Chains A and B, each alone.
Chain A
Amino acid sequence: MKERDYSQYKGVWVIGEVREGQIHAVSYELLAWGRGLADALAVDLAIVVLGKDIKDKVDELISRGADKVYVIDHPELEHFRVDPYSNILTALIEEYKPEVLIASATTMGRTLMPVLAVKLDAGLTADCTGLEIDPEERLLIQTRPAVGGNIMATIKTPVLRPQMATVRPKSKRPLPPDPGRKGEIILKEFGPEWLTSRVRRLDFIKEESEGAPIQDAECIVAFGKGLKDGRHVQLMQDLARIFEGSLGASRNATDLGWIPYSHQVGLSGKTVSPRLYFAFGISGAVQHLAGMSSAETIIAVNSDPEANIFNVADYGLVGDLFEVVPLLISRLKEKGKEA
């Protein structure tokens, strides 16, 4: 490995995300992660955002924890594409030399960060659920699940800089906005040679489903083979609507074609960390648990008292989901009326 002097590397950087022209909520989660790390190191926290027409939308990044906001605003940066994003970020990181660089483990973060790790000659840890600073060594302690959630690994990057990690979306709450916070907004310009991309975006086919993509959802109503028939997805949707939640599913349920694969939770699907996860008629196979066991609160309904899902549930009901769900919906609606 190259011997390099990393003594100038200082500060914590996070990479914000813009979707459909708006600063996406994962950016605020990243600031909450970054704030804790920057305070522990007694350094500044910076966020960098790339996008189109975003320079007037970045104030909240300061009120939610950033000391510095680097903005690259250009029509060519409207959508994430590897070439321009990675070229620009590589240049900025080589210029400003942060010691820690964090992004969200979204499809963007999981594509961009590996490319940056190669371009910057730095190590990267994926999909962390915990980040801390070791006070003595001033090193980033990265914790992540592996082997289908069977083990947790603690990882350090002793030599190379920046220390890079992606964190699971929803694994931290954003800080409440503090309108009095002071910070600096720095607009950076990049010429056309920085903006070219080998990959072209031709179109976007929006998925017609209610609720946020499951990786972004605060509440997920998930179902498995116990739902018995695709017709009953409607029942799940009725409940999800009350929580403004999104639908999730086990592999068996997606394999049966009851819902598109993009809703599958687990080892060969999505990894999610919502605040609230309902599991209806899901047995709780390890491969399913791998995708959802870091949810804040887990509710399970299963007719089999021995179902493994109960081992991870905060509240479990042994019963028939077709009895429980309609009653639950009507109770919640009564509450809604009371409120």
Chain B
Amino acid sequence: MKIVVLIKQVPATDKVKMDEESGTMIRDGVESEVNPLDLYAVEEAVRIKERIGNGVEIHVISMGPKKAEEALRSAIALGCDRAYLLSDRKFAGSDTWVTAYTLSAAIRKIVGDFDLILCGERATDGETGQVGPEVGAYLDLPILTYVSKIETLQDRKIIAQRAVEGGHEVVESPLPVLISVVKEINTPRMPNFSGKMKAKKAEIPVLTAEDIGADEARLGLKGSPTRVVKIFRPQVARKGTVVSCVGNLQGAVDGLVDFLEEKAMI
């Protein structure tokens, strides 16, 4: 069985710094990490491999700058077998649609036949959650989003639960299938020593647009149907009232009740 995991390297969210004047993100010196929600996809792949044992191979793919190789090494440290980095100036500025096109071209070319593609629910930087289902659509796969549990995986079939509004939907799909997972699915492990050694030594091929045989007109900023025309800083601070309850509990709570009435909330 061949499993493909898609991971993205993102700026560590709690370290994001903004240039207050220009309203842009300061990228210099900001640490990067594996998109936290992709670690659940990696973990689930590794668990499947541990459960089924021999014959399961996990291929992890990321598109990004050279530096994204670090993310791929950490996936190997966690138990993935092979990693590929898609990196080319021609990929720069891709929106989700083009990212998904590029990833699916790479999957076709380098992995060939596969049984399962796992990805995260969304990336913490772009936060679109679109890339997974778009890859599924490009590859014409059945798609299971928001998967919170894999119940069974046998006889070329998967039964899984999807966390949707109001509960969990139990669904069955043939393989191959694309799955995006939510945090509920597992608790990701930390890498162990032998994993780290393996990661250090792993060869990670860097693939270009040409290597994956992609149509250049569909790549990067040029190929992207959507355009970011402006970036600005949201007004987060509200001009709210803050009241202390110290020695004034009754007054503070009454004030709150009045406020709620004023806002027609009660």
Contacts of A193-219 to chain B: CB distance below 8 A:
198-207, 212-213, 215-216, 219
Contacts of A108-132 to chain B: CB distance below 8 A:
108, 110-111, 113-115, 117-119, 122-127
Q: Determine which of A126, A310, A332 lies in contact with B240 in the assembled complex, contact meaning CB atoms within 8 Å.
A: A310
Contacts of B198-255 to chain A: CB distance below 8 A:
217-218, 223-234, 236-238, 240-246, 249-250, 252-255
Q: How far is the CA of A199 from the CA of B169 in the complex (A)?
A: 12
User: How many A residues face the partner with a CB closer than 8 A?
Assistant: 93
Please tell me if the beta carbons of B237 and A311 are within 8 angstroms of each other in the complex. yes
Contacts of A287-325 to chain B: CB distance below 8 A:
287, 289, 293, 297-299, 305, 310-320, 323-324
Please tell me if the beta carbons of A156 and B226 are within 8 angstroms of each other in the complex. yes
Q: Which of A27-35, A52-60, A184-192, A260-268 contacts B (4 or more CB under 8 A)?
A: A260-268
When distances are taken between beta carbons in the complex, the residues of chain A under 8 Å from B161 are 205
Contact status of A323 and B245, CB under 8 A, knowing A118-B97, A213-B166: yes
Q: How far is the CA of A141 from the CA of B18 in the complex (A)?
A: 23
Q: How far is the CA of A142 from the CA of B128 in the complex (A)?
A: 13
Q: Is B155 an interface residue (CB 8 A)?
A: no
Closest to B146 in A: A107
When distances are taken between beta carbons in the complex, the residues of chain B under 8 Å from A133 are none
Please tell me if the beta carbons of A316 and B145 are within 8 angstroms of each other in the complex. no
Contact status of A267 and B240, CB under 8 A, knowing A124-B97, A327-B250: no
Q: Is B6 an interface residue (CB 8 A)?
A: no
Q: Determine which of A107, A145, A202, A243 lies in contact with B145 in the assembled complex, contact meaning CB atoms within 8 Å.
A: A107
Please tell me if the beta carbons of B166 and A124 are within 8 angstroms of each other in the complex. no
Contact status of A156 and B227, CB under 8 A, knowing A299-B256, A324-B253: yes
Q: Is B93 an interface residue (CB 8 A)?
A: no
Q: Determine which of A115, A152, A243, A316 lies in contact with B232 in the assembled complex, contact meaning CB atoms within 8 Å.
A: A152
Main secondary structure of the interface of B (DSSP, over half): mixed
Please tell me if the beta carbons of A117 and B134 are within 8 angstroms of each other in the complex. yes
Q: How far is the CA of A86 from the CA of B259 in the complex (A)?
A: 46
Q: Is B65 an interface residue (CB 8 A)?
A: no
Please tell me if the beta carbons of A316 and B169 are within 8 angstroms of each other in the complex. no
Q: How far is the CA of A107 from the CA of B233 in the complex (A)?
A: 27
Please tell me if the beta carbons of B167 and A207 are within 8 angstroms of each other in the complex. yes
Q: How far is the CA of A269 from the CA of B129 in the complex (A)?
A: 13
Contacts of A128-152 to chain B: CB distance below 8 A:
141-142, 145-152
Q: Is A175 an interface residue (CB 8 A)?
A: no
When distances are taken between beta carbons in the complex, the residues of chain B under 8 Å from A323 are 245, 249
Q: Which has the most chain B C-beta neighbours within 10 Å: A79, A156, A199, A323?
A: A199
A319 to chain B, nearest CB (A): 3
A98 to chain B, nearest CB (A): 16
Contacts of B105-149 to chain A: CB distance below 8 A:
124-134, 136-138, 142-146, 148
Please tell me if the beta carbons of A324 and B18 are within 8 angstroms of each other in the complex. no
Q: How far is the CA of A107 from the CA of B167 in the complex (A)?
A: 12
Please tell me if the beta carbons of A320 and B245 are within 8 angstroms of each other in the complex. yes
Please tell me if the beta carbons of B13 and A335 are within 8 angstroms of each other in the complex. no
Q: How far is the CA of A316 from the CA of B259 in the complex (A)?
A: 11
Closest to B138 in A: A118
Q: How far is the CA of A325 from the CA of B252 in the complex (A)?
A: 12
Q: How far is the CA of A164 from the CA of B16 in the complex (A)?
A: 29
Q: Is B2 an interface residue (CB 8 A)?
A: no
When distances are taken between beta carbons in the complex, the residues of chain B under 8 Å from A172 are none
Please tell me if the beta carbons of A149 and B236 are within 8 angstroms of each other in the complex. yes
Please tell me if the beta carbons of A107 and B238 are within 8 angstroms of each other in the complex. no
Q: Is A68 an interface residue (CB 8 A)?
A: no
Please tell me if the beta carbons of A146 and B127 are within 8 angstroms of each other in the complex. yes
Q: Which of B50-58, B72-80, B171-179 contacts A (4 or more CB under 8 A)?
A: B171-179
Please give the residue numbers on chain A whose beta carbons come within 8 Å of chain B beta carbons, in ascending order: 1, 19, 79, 82-83, 86, 106-108, 110-111, 113-115, 117-119, 122-127, 141-142, 145-160, 198-207, 212-213, 215-216, 219, 243, 260-262, 264, 267-269, 275-276, 285-287, 289, 293, 297-299, 305, 310-320, 323-324, 327-328, 331-332, 335
A-B contact pairs, 21 of them (CB 8 A): A1-B218, A19-B165, A86-B137, A119-B137, A124-B96, A126-B96, A145-B234, A147-B125, A149-B236, A150-B18, A154-B228, A202-B159, A203-B170, A204-B168, A205-B168, A207-B167, A262-B184, A298-B240, A313-B240, A315-B256, A328-B257
